[in-house]
Structure 1
Amino acid sequence: MLVGYSSSSGSSGSDEESEAGALTDNSKRRHDVDHGGSSVSKKLKAEEPTSETRLPVPRCLLDMFPEEGDPQTDGSSLHGGRLRSFKHERGNWATCVYFPYHPHEEFSELLEELLEAVAARDVVLTPQTEFHLSLSQTVVLRHHWIQPFTQSLRPRLVHCRRFVCSAGTLRVYCNAEKTRTFLGMEVSTGQAQLLEVVKAVDQTMAEFRLETFYKEPSFHVSLAWCVGDFTKQLKDSLQELQSLADDHEDGPFLLRVDCRELRCKAGNKTFGLPLGP
C-alpha cells in the first residue's frame, strides 16, 4: 500500500496526520472493493473474455494433424476413377502390409510393351505408381491403433528369415467389388517363405480383430489396372502378353523381389519392419 509522507522541507503536517490520512484512503479502497463500487473493477469485469469471443484454431496447426482436419472426399474423380472399398471416416486409416518392389530399366521396357499390346485390344491400363507384393488385405485402423499394431507385428517378423522370391507368369485379377481389374505377375518361387510371413501378419490381424489374408493366396505384383471388370478381355490376350515377357534376348523375364523388410502403410504413414537375419 502506498502511504503519503510529508517532505522533510515541508512546514506543515505531523506524522500522526499523515498516517490518519493514509488509513482513511485505505478504508475507502477496501469499501470500494467490498461493494463492487470501484470503476476499475467494473471495467475489468466488462472486459473478461467469454466463450463467444474464442479465436479460431490457426490453419497451420490443423495441417499438422490431418486426421482432425477437413474430411477427405470420396470422389472417384480425384483417384483416377477408382472407388473406395469402404467409406472414408475421419480417424480411420486404410492399412496394408507388403514387400516393396523397385523396378529397373528392363522391367519398365517390358511394361510399356504390355500396355501397348493391351491398348491394341481397346483396353487402356494405367501403370502402378508403386509396385509391391501384398501380404494382407486392406483393413481399417483407428489412428491410435497404428503404433500398437506395428509394435505387435515387429517381434513376430524377427523369426522369419530374409529371402528372395521371383515371379514371371502373367495373371489377371479383379477385386471383390468388380470395380477394378489388374494385370499382375504371379510368384513362382518363395511361396513357402511368403506363407510364413503371412502367418505372422495374420496373428497381429487377429489380435486387433481385423480380416486376415486369403486362405489360398495368389502372391503377385500388380503391374497395371483399369476401372471396371475387364477380366475376359485381358484373359483373351494373356497368351500374347506372356510371349512378350518370355521372348527376350536374355531369356524369359523374371521379376525378383528382395524380401528383407516388410512395409506397413497406414494412410500417409509408412513403417519399415525388418525380417530376421
Structure 2
Amino acid sequence: MLVGYSSSSEEDGEPGSEARSRNSRRSVEEDEGSRDLPAKKKARTEELDPKTRLPLPGCLLSMFPDDDDETLTEDSSLHGGRIRSFKHERGNWATYVYLPYHPEEEFEELLEELLSTLGAHGPILTQQEEFHLSLSQTVVLRHHWIQPFTQSLQSGLSQCRRFACSAATLKVYCNAERTRTFLGMEVSTGHAQLLDLVRVIDKTMTEFQLDTFYKEPSFHVSLAWCVGDQTEKMKELLQELQVLRCC
C-alpha cells in the first residue's frame, strides 16, 4: 500500500475531513515519488535550477561582449589610416559588384612611373593591392541574403555578352565622406555596355531595397589612394601625369 488513511465514521463526518484526506494522500505520494526518482534524473533537475548553477568565469564573459555594453572600435593606423564609411555590425556583410582587372607587366611599369612623379611634387599615394572596375555602390547584406542575392545577379547577368573595355584618361576621385582621394583611369571604350550591366545589377539592388548605382557614373579603375581630400592638389598635377602616360 502506498497510502494509509483512516476511514472511521468520526473522521469522515468531520468538516474538511475529505479535503485533509486528499491532501494527505497527495503529500505521501509526492514523498514516495521523489524517493523513486533515479539519482541521475534528480541530479539533472538540480542542474537546471538556476540557483544551483555556477557562474561563468569573467574571462569567458569578456570573450563575447554585448553590443549594448561595449562598442567595437578599430585602429585606423592598422589600415593605412582608412576609415569605415559605415559602422560595422555583426551579421552584416559589406558587398559590391565589380569587374576585376589583372594588370600586365607594362601596366605596372607605367603605374610605378606615375606614382614616382606624383610623389615628387604632391601627396604620396598608396598603390592599390588589386585593380577593379566597380559596377555598384558598397551595400550591406545580411548573411541570409547572400545566396539569393548572388542567384539574382547570376540570373540577370547570364544573358550579357562579352565586350571590349579600355581606359585612357587619368582622373581624380574622392569618396562621399571626403576621407580618401583616388587616382584613377576613366573608361573610354565600353561605357555603353557597362551601363547595360549596371541596369541589370540595379534591378537586384532594388529587389533587396539597397542603394542603386550613380545616375551618371564615371567608370574607372582606381590606381592608388591617399588619406583625406587631396582633390585640388592632385588635379594640378594631372596634366603632367597625363603627358607621361601618353609617352
Taking the aligned partners of 1:72 and 1:131, their CA distance within structure 2 comes to 30
Structure 1 residues 59-74: aligned runs within 5 Å: 73-74=73-74
Structure 1 residues 25-44: aligned runs within 5 Å: 34-37=32-35, 41-42=38-39
Q: Is the 8 A contact 2:122 2:234 kept in 1?
A: no
Deviating 4+ runs (over 2 angstroms): 33-38, 40-44, 46-56, 71-75
Q: TM-score, normalised by structure 1?
A: 0.67
Q: Which residue of the partner structure matches residue 125 of structure 1?
A: 125
Taking the aligned partners of 1:127 and 1:210, their CA distance within structure 2 comes to 30
Structure 1 residues 59-208: aligned runs within 5 Å: 73-208=73-208
Residue 45 (structure 1) aligned with residue 42 (structure 2): yes
Q: Which residue of the partner structure matches residue 211 of structure 1?
A: 211
- Give the C-alpha shift of residue 119 in structure 1: 0.9
Q: Is the 8 A contact 1:119 1:125 kept in 2?
A: yes
- Give the C-alpha shift of residue 77 in structure 1: 2.1
Classify 1:54/1:197 alpha carbon distance in 2 versus 1 (closer, same or farther; 3 Å).
farther
Classify 1:36/1:228 alpha carbon distance in 2 versus 1 (closer, same or farther; 3 Å).
same
Letter of the structure 2 residue corresponding to residue 169 of structure 1: T
Classify 1:35/1:181 alpha carbon distance in 2 versus 1 (closer, same or farther; 3 Å).
closer
Alpha-carbon displacement from aligned partner over 1:201-228 (angstroms, at most 9, x marks no partner): 0111111111111111110000000010
Q: Which residue of the partner structure matches residue 10 of structure 2?
A: none
- Give the C-alpha shift of residue 182 in structure 1: 0.2
Q: Is the 8 A contact 2:135 2:198 kept in 1?
A: yes
Secondary structure at 2:222's aligned position in 1?
strand
Count of residues in Structure 1 that have an aligned counterpart in Structure 2: 205
Taking the aligned partners of 2:103 and 2:88, their CA distance within structure 1 comes to 31
Q: Which residue of the partner structure matches residue 5 of structure 2?
A: none
Higher strand share: 1
Alpha-carbon displacement from aligned partner over 1:132-173 (angstroms, at most 9, x marks no partner): 000000011111111111111111112211112000110000
Task: Name the Cα RMSD after superposition.
Answer: 2.7
What is the percentage of aligned positions where both structures have the same residue? 66
Higher helix share: 2
Taking the aligned partners of 1:227 and 1:233, their CA distance within structure 2 comes to 13
